[in-house]
Structure 1
Amino acid sequence: MDSIQRQKQKREEKKRRRRDMVIIVVTILLVVGVTALLLYLTGQKGEALISQNLLVFTLINVNAILLLLLIYLVVRNFVKLFFERRKGILGSKLRTKLVVAFVGLSLVPTLLMFWVSIGFITNTIENWFSFKVESSLEQSLAVVEVYYRNSAENALHYATQISTAITEGKLLKENNLDDLRRFIAQKQAEYNLGVVEVFSAQREELLRIMNPAIPDQSFVSADSTIVQQALEGRRMTRIQPVGDGDIIRGVVPIYSTWNPKDIVGAVIVNYYNPQSLVSKMDSINRAFQEYKQLKLSKDPIKGMYVILLSVVTLLIIFSATWFGLHLSRVISVPIGSLADATQQIAHGNLDITLEPGADDEIGSLISSFNRMTRDLRASKEQVESTTASLHATIRELEHRRLYIETLLDNVAAVVISLDQDGHLTTFNKSAEKMFGIQMEDAIDKPYPDVLQSEPLMPLRHFISEIIRYDLQSVERQVNLAFPDHTIFLYLRSTMLFDAEGQYLGLVIIAEDLTQLQQAQRAFAWREVARRIAHEIKNPLTPIKLSAQRLRKKFQPQIQTDAAVFDQCTQTIINQVDELKTLVNEFSSFARMPATNPVPGNLHEVIEETLALYREAHKNILFSFKPHPTDIHFSFDRTQLKRVLINLLDNAVDSMENEGTVTIATSYNRIRDVVVIEVADTGTGIPPAIKQRMFDPYFSTKKSGTGLGLAIVNTIISDHGGYIRVRDNHPHGACFIIELPVHQTIPLYRNVRDEKDGHSSG
């Protein structure tokens, strides 16, 4: 396909050359014919004018024909380029730019030379006729030059003085900018300067002080190249036309105070001339040209020179245009091929290869392009292989990361880690729940800032001690005393090191021993209750029987103080009964039956329990807010009812027979737990005793044994659940029970049963 296209291009090139040759021949014949015709028409005036007329008319004809050829070539090539750009042919845009550039580069200097030459010849001819005009023109120009030179020297002088003062006063410092502004404003007013500009070493304009007499729209800032030259150590003056006026600039570098060779800025002093003297000189020159045109005798001479200059100008333009077209074709064709090949590579075709051209830079570029294509082909194959391997590695790493994150989020223990700078890098959900701190408020924060609350101080001191003394592995138990509860933690810490032994950070695992310790205390209290019940219960029956026998046998015989005798024996019997009741409660607490969970409906148990209290306490409102659907799971119906009765009794006692008791149930699908809330509007529980609410033999009632909530806590723990208390707003208390739907028997329950079995055996 490419060879066919090249053959087609060669045929078109041959046709174009034949067409150009025909045009040149026709042009030559036309020049000869027109010249002969003009000679025939003007040859009758005399033999002396034949050679002159021949030269004049030949030049005129050549001028006209060259102009027509130029127009033809330019129009033809521009039309061709226009259609190539419309078709989107690669290289057409570059060729257009090159043609325009060459034509522009030839037109501008050629026309400039033409007009300068015309002006020079005209001025020379005029000088032949008027010496005063020439003298006046020179004097005017001299006046302008002297004025501009003096203004430039003044600008440079004042700029040097200001630069020296800035260096000596260290005014370029950031904290001295206000002093610099006042100093520049003072010097501008003192020297009657136009505009003073100060630039930093980064070419940033630090300030500009303008003379109020200069309109803002008439001033143009200095070019960045002038500032750059000043920063390179050059002192210079520049004259820049702006509108109807001129700006005269004096540019001086500002040297450093510490090192006189270092340049830290630049200062520019500007003078503004409202009306340009150059424009006035142009007016003088135009008047002088009009004066010359009045000299009709000089026109033939000037016409001859104009014709000669025109011929030279058109020849130069024609040559430059043809050279531009030829050079643009030489450059744009291989570059177009490179552009087309580049587009194919961009679309994924790396099998393309270009034929080397001439032995020049473009040929080297094509050879380099072919090498690059081969290297890209090899690199693409290697990248694809490496990418496949990286994707497999990334998938494996992502899988491991998700597994570790899932593991950390679901593990019951608190897991936190720190980097070598003491910033938290891991803070799992158990840590969020236990410490009441959100993960986003902890990650990438220093641990002293995260663990700054008073209850978390033991953990903070634990970490500080490990880091301070470089303890690689530590195990310790700490207590975190929160306002409404205390958490017992078992901490294990391990320092992390890389393969080279560099310290990477610290990992801390904290296990919550609160429930285990509560279970251990409950077991200890059960053992105490069992021993007390065993030691006290045995002598109570003989004591009671003895008191009853004494009363029955001796009461009829006692004549005096019979009432005292009767009261004492009755007191002994009553106190023995109360002791037996207390011992029975101790025995019940010490020998609570094992949990026997069976499937059941939680809402039915709650409704049955509430029905008893609604009948017994008419002045108290008992409200039930059940979960939208019935909750079915395995639980010990008898023991759970005992829990509800105990909590409802406490609620009724705290409200003094008036108030509201609300029981609400819900199901947490994420944690797979049933939540029961028992809230009352009673007197509430002081924060100081909340931590001891579930301890055995702790009671705030005068007649209480302190075993009710301890039994409740034991039953809930045997179900694998958890109970806690919080304030009920605006007043009262709220007990929250969490029971797992899929139960697991607690470890401490197994240990207790084994010990009970061992002791009973």
Structure 2
Amino acid sequence: MQFYKTFSFKVIIRLILLLVVMVAFAKIFGDKRLFFNHIILACVLIIQIFELLRFLNQTNKELAKFILSIKHQDFSASFNRSPATHSFQQLNHAFNEIILSFKDTKMEKEGQYHYLQTVVSHINVGILSLENDTSITLMNKTAEDLLQATGIKNWKILKEKHPEFVREIDQMHISGRKLISLEGENNRTLSVEVNTMQLLDKTYKLITFQDIKNEIEQTEIEAWHKLIRILTHEIMNSATPISSLTETMLGMLTSDGEQKKLEDIDEETIGDLRFSLNTIQKRSDGMLSFIDDYRKLTKVSNPRLEEVHIQELFQDIHLLMKKQMEDNHIALHISCEVSTINLDRHLMEQVLINLITNSKHALEGIENAEIHLTAQYKMGKACIEVTDNGSGIPKVELSQIFVPFYSTKKQGSGIGLSLSKQIMHLHGGYIKVASEEGRGTCISLYFKG
């Protein structure tokens, strides 16, 4: 760029001209004959000062214009037609580049925002974002349909429409998950999850939910069908031989449709009758035992939670099972890294004895048989594990072991693991099973953190 077009050159020229006028004004100052010259030079001097200030402030004006454009996101501003374009060419070029960069970034973010809005609106899960527990900043179409709340942007208005839903959400505070029922024309069961985040000094609560009523109903129907099949199977196993033996006994006591006389019944017939009655009694006892197991499964009492020292619990379990372990040549090891857990001691003893008994059956015929009873923290939760090196559970049976009355043992009742799962659920925890056929089984009991 030529020097005479630069900002510095133009400032120097203006200063020189200002100095010349000031020198001329100083020379004629005080001469009354040149009174009008004084006025002319004073006016020229004032004009030059204002021109110099205007020229120097041109940069500030351009900078202010640029900052205001950024502040108000007015990316249509241009700095190419400025009077000082040649002097401020590099500065104006930089301004235009920054404005263009901001414009491209804004367009990209708007595109991403609209894309995410489209994705969120097509998700088959209700999504609701709440700002500072007052205003609804986002509610996708699925959420609007489930709550029948199209266009609602205020949390209080939604509370008037669905007080139970809003009350349950407020009770979860920062985070949580629960099932909420919505009463109305179409009763719904919503699986709701709440998470809270802090962004730019604002608290946002993200609420996701979906209607699982159909899934619950389908699961209940499948569970009823499965239970009915099991009950029918067990009842038929007992009722069929009872009916058959009863018919056989009636045949022994009748002849040509008439009851036999006492003298016509020989010792062999009496022996057959006694055998049949004994069989009927055994099958009846079996049916009563089955009904008692069913009663146990359906009438588990609510746990009485208390702080239990796990080391003491393990030692008591070890003493209870010591004789059985020695008789079956099984080593029972205990290890405790957890001090205390809130649980029902009586119910948990029942669970652990049942799990150790299952492991004992899985260790039949195994050399160097071992059972490890351990307590430790896993994934931030207190966890009790019963591990054995037994025969393991085949994959085809692994998904069925918690089904009531399903048993892999010939003499098993099939309620042990089902009962254990129910007890853990009442404790607010859950049970997991990991098993590999031929290498052993590990059953983990996770307690509420």
Kindly indicate which of the two structures has a greater share of residues assigned to helix: 1
TM-score (norm 1): 0.29
- Considering only CA atoms, is the larger Rg found in Structure 1 or Structure 2? 1
TM-score between the two structures when normalised by the length of structure 2: 0.46
